[in-house]
Chains A and B, each alone.
Chain A
Amino acid sequence: MTEILVSALLLIGAALMLLAAIGIIRLPDLPTRMHATTKSGALGTALIMIAVAFYFAEVAVVTRALAVIAFIIVTAPVAAHVIGRASYFVGVPLWEGTIKDDLKTSYDPETHYLRSGFEEDVPKKPAASKKTTAAKAKPKR
Chain B
Amino acid sequence: MSAYVINLVYLMLSVALLLGFIRLAKGPSLPDRVVALELVASIVAGMVGVHAIYTGVSSFLDVAIVLALTAFLAAIGFARFLERGGPRDD
Q: A44–B46 contact, CB under 8 A?
A: yes
- B9, A11: Cβ atoms closer than 8 Å: yes
B42 partner residues in chain A, CB cutoff 8 A: 17, 41-42, 44-45, 72, 76
Which range contains the number of A residues in contact with the other chain? 35 or more
Number of interchain pairs (Cβ within 8 Å): 173
Q: Tell me the A57-94 residues at the B interface (CB within 8 Å).
A: 58, 60-61, 64-65, 67-68, 71-72, 75-76, 78-79, 82-83, 85-87, 89-92
Cβ–Cβ contact B61 & A68, under 8 A: yes
Closest to B74 in A: A79
B76 to A: closest C-beta gap in Å: 6
Task: Name A's interface SS.
Answer: helix
Interface of B is mostly: helix
Assess whether B62 is in contact with A64, with CB atoms less than 8 Å apart: yes
- Measured in the bound complex, the distance between the Cα atoms of B58 and A51 in whole Å is 12
Contact of B31 among A11, A15, A25, A92 (CB under 8 A): A92
Interface residues as binary, A31-68 with B (CB distance below 8 Å gives 1, 0 otherwise): 00110011001101100110110011010110011011
Given contacts A49-B64, A68-B65, 12 further A-B contacts (CB under 8 A): A14-B16, A21-B20, A21-B39, A24-B35, A30-B35, A41-B43, A44-B42, A67-B65, A68-B64, A72-B68, A75-B72, A87-B31
- List, sorted by A's number, 10 A–B pairs whose CB atoms are closer than 8 Å: A6-B1, A17-B16, A17-B42, A17-B43, A21-B16, A24-B35, A64-B61, A65-B49, A76-B42, A82-B76
Chain B: residues with CB nearer than 8 A to chain A? Answer: 1-2, 5-6, 8-9, 12-13, 15-20, 22-23, 29, 31-32, 34-36, 38-39, 42-43, 45-46, 49-50, 52-53, 58, 61-62, 64-65, 68-69, 71-72, 75-76, 78-80, 82-83, 85-89
